[in-house]
Amino acid sequence: MQIDLSGRTALVTGSSQGIGLAIAAGLAGAGARVGVNGRSTGSVGRAVAELRERLPDADLVEVVADVTTDEGCAQALGLLPDVDVLVNNLGVYGATPALEVDDDAWRRYFEVNVLTAVRLTRAVLPGMTARGWGRVLNIASDSAVVIPVEMIHYGVSKTALLAASRGFAKAAAGTGVTVNAVIAGPTHTGGVEDFVRSLVGDTLPWDEAQREFMRRHRPQSLIQRLIEPEEIAHMVTYLASPLASATTGGALRVDGGYVDGILP
């Protein structure tokens, strides 16, 4: 398949590292103009420099803005006024015993993981529908379906993101705009690599260490390894393309078979 996003403008929130950076690379590699977002000039500058080294012809915009606030959203959309592809990737997570998650933490997770995506979607959807084309993609998690006992506040926020995705897809019905969620499974990032090493030790080569981690601690995974950020980016790039024009309102899994069920 030839994915061509030439002439399209994309904004990927929280894209200075990890999954977001991989998604930005995927969209830029397909020809889109991509807004790389983070809260600091340094982190965004480093991410853009890395992308330009890998993709010398990439059309990149540094979007330094805290999109969890009204002001930050306005600032980001001022730099990219006509967004054709919105990827709501930004999110926070952390382990806390269920009975120790206080009201402030619940509010923070909902504000960052749900309302940030809702606010940006609400801002860009009218322009997309007026132009007759657009893509909104919300990066969810297997935790939306398999609620982790140590992170129920995170899981609930991602469940809400699935519902928001379905609802906005209905709001965009018949307009040429699609809205989908991507359910990401256990993914290989710097923080996760440290976590794996803390559980299985430093003696094994990385490939063996991650497989031992999955065997012992994530046995329901069918691929029996961590997912690479680029694998999630492949799904996002496809869904952002004209090839996915009949896919909307969905929760598509890039989870390595982690969720033990057929739907979503």
Tell me the β-bridge partners of 64: 38
Q: How far apart are CA 83 and CA 124, in angstroms?
A: 7
pLDDT at position 264 over 70: no
Query: What is the average pLDDT value for the chain, to the nearest integer?
Result: 96
Q: What is the tens place of the pLDDT at every residue in 97-128? A: 999 999 999 999 999 999 999 999 999 999 99
Domain boundaries, the chain: 9-185+228-254, 188-226
Residue 190 has pLDDT above 90, yes or no: no
Tell me the per-residue pLDDT of 146-178, one tens digit each, with 9 for 90 and over: 999 989 999 999 999 999 999 999 999 999 999
The set of catalytic residues is 154
What pLDDT, in 10s, does the model give residues 36-50?
999 999 999 999 999
Q: What is the pLDDT of residues 200-226, one digit of tens each?
A: 999 999 999 999 999 998 899 999 999
Q: Is 95 exposed, middle or buried (0-12, 13-18, 19+ CB in 10 A)?
A: exposed
- Alpha-carbon gap, residue 220 to 260, rounded angstroms: 7
The CATH architecture to which 9-185+228-254 belongs is 3-Layer(aba) Sandwich (3.40)
CA 73 to each of CA 25, 68, 124: distance values in angstroms, whole numbers, following the listed order: 22, 7, 11
The pTM of this model reads 0.95
**Residue 179: its pLDDT value, please?**
99
